[in-house]
Structure 1
């Protein structure tokens, strides 16, 4: 999981260099040179001519030598460092007051180092945006090299994405076409007494003077530069494999007429990467791992081989245990995965956070390893630093942000996870509270209060801990796993006890069991590590006694083939939540039938809403908490509608391979799409009366938190907003284009068509008009919303075609870890599910498609209907009809 480079502030005036300033520098430099030459010339006048000539010659020679080595004179090692405090480690670090020198052994020149930059402390202004301690915002691979002639050390930035055999002819070309870029140069101050190391001064790459190693204010989106007078190195530590540098960097952000000072501590780790990279494992789209790209060149190829390498920890049996391992015995790995619990974590949550880590041990046992993953509390903080690359930490962030994420530091040469951190924002408990109350409060009396018991909250925290640890192990979200459970099975105590939780993978967003009804007596209602998780860890981590990753492919493919037709092992990649293509892989859904699951969910919501004021308000308290719970219930209703709607125009997506008899694209069956639309007409297009309970509205409007404080939403306004969004999504360009694609592929009689959808929506929206009745405010709202979404979406479709440019991070996003969406019911947090991980083009040249014709045809049908009825009803109804007629005629440029 990685930080989006979103600009948090708008920058003020840009720095400008005046022309006069640029001219002034060489002018004064020239005066200095002339003055120096004048002094030298005058000093020779009193000497004999021969001596004067020799003296002048020597002086010029010395000056020539000095000029050629200006700024490059070597100092005596002992003299330079006689007052230094020295740290031993990866290389020696010498401190002389505020100056820091690295003594880099020549044997480390050309070796691969990884720079890892993390946030260590932030002010309130950044905390409010979810930037907190532990966030890793930038990594890069570098190499040091000695330039003997210039007496400097160069630093090159390397993108280690390419590999070729040492003896192949093409390797020469690879070396020429994938060179590193020089990002920094350091003057060699001295050589060690035995000439085995060089000493360079490193202050400027850490104290904000230069940005080559660390450009934090650009990376987090501020776009400002450090103010060097208010920045500096706080301390440096040196260990056998890494150097840790912590610095305080300050800047100022100007927005309008106000300026905000920003000071933050950042920690840079300089880590020596393994001499021999871990043997990689090639990814397969049918198992959900994060990956890093690798290109293989060779003389024998007919084309370039491109691969994605799994992101995973180095998990290997000890040499003496390998024979036992290969026989199927459980053995301990050479190096287990160890997570440390941030000492600032509240004591009452630590046990369950640790349990969430250790729960993954049963998955590693399927990969053949025991004691492979551990969690420990920090007992001695003397030398402990969570930003030190030697420690993987579950970092607890004191923040109002309601979220969590599990990013990792990866060796891009092999995909090896070197260190990982879970960032745990304190306020994630707010989301857990609302989910449990709204989704399970009617079946679990312990989940109804404003403040749940520590035991109940700790149990939910365990689920979040396990989910985030899954990311740190390399697993992506598997949004398709919840579809593997039959809906009615979620009402079975025996099934939920046997299978555990709500889905076959804890990497889904299958929150809590909202399907189970009070009479079902289901108690296993929380997500747990499932069959898919154990299978994925075994597939990614099982060790093979081979050197070439190509040799593993036949076995890995056989493992996938063995489970190819079992839905419990299905991987459904994450999609853009605003444009879901495959309805089986959705966030926060449960079961294999969205309509049936949502009907059960609504039955529980109907039981919940009348209880909100009782559950959320105690004697003498206001109704703010009730208003927030009210809004959470409305969001849940909206979520059910979205789950169902995704089936209309939906496609089941697979990643087929030859021989598995699967299709890449299959339209959702027509019967399911018709059933989905029926549900929307009955339960969603018109907000049900029971949801906006009149007694509750007398006490409080629905309330939503925001950075500016709580907002109270008037019910009619909220209904109008939700209804508009639903209708707009139903007639969206992408959805209708997909429906037309399926009509072309499968035949009109086999699919739910655009014409059928629009006809049904018109009949629903204008039902009262078709029956000749006077319209209420809400009747008019529905007709206005339907006409407006047709007008707006048609106008946007017919705008001038613009070139679709690749986003800056289009290729990076596929390989970066995800920030989980633990926002309030998924509606207030911008989670990583806003990013589609699969790019299918449906919408090019959409203005020439039949979608525009279908929408315009629908508007003409509506205007004809309105013309026939414009004289009916009361004055408000007549005015409403005339307004819609004018809008449509104006938009279509009709006389």
Structure 2
């Protein structure tokens, strides 16, 4: 009996002790580790020293601000690292892969390694060693601000923050280990004094911000991946490094395209299934009908892979219920929410050694679709006159854009760069930024062809270059050259960001958010679309019961519908028709001829015409002071008249945008340089419209300023009070920009002299006019007397547009 009592007592004692002891959770996989709940720490077992693997940091959760740019699902750097033991420490070291030697000579390789710096990411004290297995506490590393949250907040002027370790913990929900990757998470809390409105707008307490940071340790791919060389016209992203073992007669810098690994099951077959297809998974949080549209649009890429010799090699599926979108085993299309609409983007994690894409990750802003819906809402004639549920046409255009957007961002994660020349080539690529194409049919606006459907002809060639394979005895070099030749013969242009994203851009074909083969003709067409949309705009462009403040906001993208086509047309002024030239390929480039420049100038000057800028009286009556709860935002018209709608400021803002683009210092410098180089400088007749003959390849800055001046100071109805007020503002703005050309440190002496001549001509002309011109004369005299006091007049920026902001700072 006594024995039974002791046994029972021992049982309860052991049970009590077991319950009292904190649990330790074991994880096995690529890395084995133990989570110690009582200490809130992870002990990692390191087996292989000096063996390289991939380390990636990312954000599982974000801040929800487009402007700050710390989004849910945002990928960080993917870097090669390895464990180095020294004494009682393990160092996590990042070798320098920018500088290498492919030579078999080990001494030569060592000399390169010793010549350039390495980076130690962290040092760990060895806690225990068992048969060559080292145990370290990984926790301090996981709790570092690896993603650079504090730096981003400081750079965005949102405040100075620091990591608060007392409020930061390991986050075990998606901390897991698999055979080829181990995933870790930590909830990090940053404290500080907020100084920016963006952080205040998204955080419940802007002095304390918490995000979940993700870390991945991933096995590097094997050596079976085949490298593919980069060509400037192939359309792919690339990775580069310096190979110091290269013979002197060969280029030192090596460029490799980035792409997923894709191999045929039957290499000899013209068409074959893939050994492992490329599969993209859609975020389960994506709602319908967006879900169906994204799956459809992303799946367009399979058509391109079929032209490269694969069947069903690219697939789109829903993300499994138990999958973590940050797990590097999954290519993911993620639905990302922010407080304002903003950019979508496609990122990748690549093997820095080879360019092989390991994970593609698309972040799609959930509010983007609403902007296209609103644009359609403003373009249609009285869409809600009969029925508040009559939104099918608007949804059709918005979903068409989502399909195209899904294909576009997935394209980036497949390794493809923007092609901003595609819109001038019958929508040859989904890798362009498309503006909705609005047709005029029997005087009515049609949205039927607003966005293209399907993959483009350029995209197919890009996939063939990146993923296709030589046939028969054809060498890879010959195969790749044949793809480039096919593009050249078809006159398919490829022009990317560096030639399209600058306000002073000169390329005649590379534009964002444009349409048409002729930028000038398309600008005239867009102005006609805008005119029709403004004239038919009514109270029935919003639903019943909505405040008229909503109507005003719907009108914004209609009034500024021409903004991006102006940018496209203005690049013809002082423009250059060029591509990425190579020997044995395209070798010609020319300045845009005078006729095209004149056509562009005439189209651009239509945008400053008072008749173009006047908002119909019937529309102005729809814009009372803003309703309570519906104040102005960055996407609203701004006002210099207090609570009332300000049509004159709307017009001035539009004109200032045009002048900013047209009179960019670099454009002005380029025009004078082109003219002088061609030895076509002539004295200009300042009193009449003089344009050089169409045989010349440029026309002078004097011509441009003279034509613009005649438009601004003479071409308007002096009996129309509304138009006259707009014209007066145009005159002030023109003088402002002319003075800026003289005062700017960025314009050359020829530009300054030509601008001075034009200002003198204007001054003489104004001295013969009435009282308003006296005000302009006083500004000119003040500038002439004290040019050092001159400052460009600041106007409100054009309301955000594409999908957020113009993209260029004011000069």
Aligned CA distance change for structure 1 residues 100 and 191 (closer, same or farther; 3 Å):
same
Given that 1:443 and 1:516 are in contact with CA atoms closer than 8 Å, whether structure 2 keeps it comes out as no
Q: Distance in 2 between matches of 1:199 and 1:546?
A: 53
1:631 aligns with 2:556: yes
Aligned counterpart, 2:738: 790
1:371 aligns with 2:296: no
Aligned CA distance change for structure 1 residues 274 and 879 (closer, same or farther; 3 Å):
closer
Task: After superposition, give the CA deviation of every residue in 1:598-637 in whole Å (9 maximum; x if it has no partner).
Answer: 2222222222112222442344432223212211112113
Given that 1:450 and 1:625 are in contact with CA atoms closer than 8 Å, whether structure 2 keeps it comes out as no
1:564 aligns with 2:488: yes
1:697 aligns with 2:617: no
Aligned counterpart, 1:742: 674
- TM-score, normalised with respect to structure 1: 0.74
**CA shift for structure 1 position 416:** 1.0
Aligned counterpart, 1:424: 364
1:199 aligns with 2:132: no
Aligned counterpart, 2:111: 173
Given that 1:443 and 1:518 are in contact with CA atoms closer than 8 Å, whether structure 2 keeps it comes out as no
Aligned CA distance change for structure 1 residues 601 and 689 (closer, same or farther; 3 Å):
closer
Task: After superposition, give the CA deviation of every residue in 1:303-349 in whole Å (9 maximum; x if it has no partner).
Answer: 6521222111111123xx1222xxx1x21222221111212111332
1:245 aligns with 2:189: no
Q: Distance in 2 between matches of 1:620 and 1:860?
A: 56
Aligned counterpart, 1:865: 765
Q: Distance in 1 between matches of 2:634 and 2:450?
A: 35
Aligned CA distance change for structure 1 residues 710 and 253 (closer, same or farther; 3 Å):
farther
Please list, as runs of the form range in 1=range in 2, the aligned pairs for 1:583-594 lying within 5 A after superposition: 583-594=508-519
**CA shift for structure 1 position 139:** 3.1
Instruction: Work out which of the residue numbers 89, 93, 112 in structure 1 matches 2:29.
Output: 89
**CA shift for structure 1 position 104:** 1.3
Given that 1:794 and 1:855 are in contact with CA atoms closer than 8 Å, whether structure 2 keeps it comes out as yes
Aligned CA distance change for structure 1 residues 698 and 87 (closer, same or farther; 3 Å):
same
Aligned CA distance change for structure 1 residues 537 and 442 (closer, same or farther; 3 Å):
farther
Please list, as runs of the form range in 1=range in 2, the aligned pairs for 1:126-141 lying within 5 A after superposition: 126=65, 129-141=68-80
Aligned counterpart, 1:346: 287
Q: Distance in 1 between matches of 2:49 and 2:574?
A: 58
Q: Distance in 2 between matches of 1:399 and 1:298?
A: 48
Please give the secondary structure, in 2, of the residue aligned with 1:716: helix
Given that 1:438 and 1:608 are in contact with CA atoms closer than 8 Å, whether structure 2 keeps it comes out as yes
Q: Distance in 1 between matches of 2:394 and 2:514?
A: 26
Aligned CA distance change for structure 1 residues 707 and 239 (closer, same or farther; 3 Å):
farther
**CA shift for structure 1 position 163:** 3.6
Aligned CA distance change for structure 1 residues 673 and 701 (closer, same or farther; 3 Å):
farther
Structure of greater Rg: 1
**CA shift for structure 1 position 440:** 7.5
Task: After superposition, give the CA deviation of every residue in 1:213-261 in whole Å (9 maximum; x if it has no partner).
Answer: 5544335646633111111111221111111111000011314599621
Q: Distance in 2 between matches of 1:475 and 1:750?
A: 35
Given that 1:363 and 1:533 are in contact with CA atoms closer than 8 Å, whether structure 2 keeps it comes out as yes
Given that 2:262 and 2:277 are in contact with CA atoms closer than 8 Å, whether structure 1 keeps it comes out as yes
Given that 2:438 and 2:447 are in contact with CA atoms closer than 8 Å, whether structure 1 keeps it comes out as no
**CA shift for structure 1 position 460:** 3.1
Given that 1:591 and 1:597 are in contact with CA atoms closer than 8 Å, whether structure 2 keeps it comes out as yes
Q: Distance in 2 between matches of 1:572 and 1:482?
A: 12
Q: Distance in 1 between matches of 2:725 and 2:227?
A: 63
Please give the secondary structure, in 1, of the residue aligned with 2:434: coil
Would you tell me which structure has more helix in proportion to its own residues? Answer: 1
Given that 1:188 and 1:199 are in contact with CA atoms closer than 8 Å, whether structure 2 keeps it comes out as yes
Instruction: Work out which of the residue numbers 591, 597, 609 in structure 1 matches 2:534.
Output: 609
Given that 2:35 and 2:43 are in contact with CA atoms closer than 8 Å, whether structure 1 keeps it comes out as yes
Q: Distance in 1 between matches of 2:572 and 2:631?
A: 31
Given that 2:553 and 2:637 are in contact with CA atoms closer than 8 Å, whether structure 1 keeps it comes out as no
1:553 aligns with 2:477: yes
Task: After superposition, give the CA deviation of every residue in 1:617-673 in whole Å (9 maximum; x if it has no partner).
Answer: 34443222321221111211333333222211111122222233632x411111011
Aligned CA distance change for structure 1 residues 83 and 608 (closer, same or farther; 3 Å):
closer
Aligned counterpart, 1:184: 122
Please list, as runs of the form range in 1=range in 2, the aligned pairs for 1:438-517 lying within 5 A after superposition: 457-485=398-426, 503-517=427-441
Greater alpha carbon shift after TM alignment, 463-472 vs 694-703: 694-703
1:156 aligns with 2:98: no
Please list, as runs of the form range in 1=range in 2, the aligned pairs for 1:16-31 lying within 5 A after superposition: none
**CA shift for structure 1 position 560:** 1.0
Q: Distance in 2 between matches of 1:577 and 1:437?
A: 31
Task: After superposition, give the CA deviation of every residue in 1:533-574 in whole Å (9 maximum; x if it has no partner).
Answer: 111111111135999xx9633431232123314234544555
Task: After superposition, give the CA deviation of every residue in 1:746-790 in whole Å (9 maximum; x if it has no partner).
Answer: 342431111211121222222279999999433322221111111
Unmatched tracts of structure 2, length 5 or more = 1-20, 201-205, 640-645, 681-695, 791-811
**CA shift for structure 1 position 431:** 1.9
Larger RCO: 1 or 2 (CA < 8 Å, sep 6+): 1
1:850 aligns with 2:750: yes
Q: Distance in 2 between matches of 1:415 and 1:158?
A: 16
1:217 aligns with 2:150: yes
Please give the secondary structure, in 2, of the residue aligned with 1:543: coil
Unmatched tracts of structure 1, length 5 or more = 1-80, 486-502, 798-842
Aligned CA distance change for structure 1 residues 238 and 200 (closer, same or farther; 3 Å):
same
Aligned counterpart, 1:254: 193
Aligned counterpart, 1:715: 647
1:662 aligns with 2:587: yes
Instruction: Work out which of the residue numbers 426, 434, 440 in structure 1 matches 2:374.
Output: 434
Greater alpha carbon shift after TM alignment, 129-138 vs 578-587: 129-138
Please give the secondary structure, in 1, of the residue aligned with 2:59: strand
Aligned CA distance change for structure 1 residues 770 and 466 (closer, same or farther; 3 Å):
closer
Q: Distance in 1 between matches of 2:590 and 2:369?
A: 39
**Cα RMSD between the aligned structures?**
3.5
Aligned CA distance change for structure 1 residues 603 and 483 (closer, same or farther; 3 Å):
same
Please give the secondary structure, in 1, of the residue aligned with 2:310: coil
Instruction: Work out which of the residue numbers 237, 240, 256 in structure 2 matches 1:290.
Output: 237
Given that 2:89 and 2:123 are in contact with CA atoms closer than 8 Å, whether structure 1 keeps it comes out as yes
Q: Distance in 1 between matches of 2:336 and 2:452?
A: 24
Please list, as runs of the form range in 1=range in 2, the aligned pairs for 1:106-121 lying within 5 A after superposition: 108-121=48-61
Given that 1:437 and 1:447 are in contact with CA atoms closer than 8 Å, whether structure 2 keeps it comes out as no
**CA shift for structure 1 position 299:** 6.1
Q: Distance in 2 between matches of 1:171 and 1:856?
A: 61
Given that 1:364 and 1:537 are in contact with CA atoms closer than 8 Å, whether structure 2 keeps it comes out as yes
**CA shift for structure 1 position 84:** 3.6
**CA shift for structure 1 position 720:** 1.6
Given that 1:142 and 1:158 are in contact with CA atoms closer than 8 Å, whether structure 2 keeps it comes out as yes
Please list, as runs of the form range in 1=range in 2, the aligned pairs for 1:761-840 lying within 5 A after superposition: 761-767=708-714, 776-797=724-745
Instruction: Work out which of the residue numbers 143, 146, 167 in structure 2 matches 1:230.
Output: 167
Q: Distance in 2 between matches of 1:694 and 1:770?
A: 17
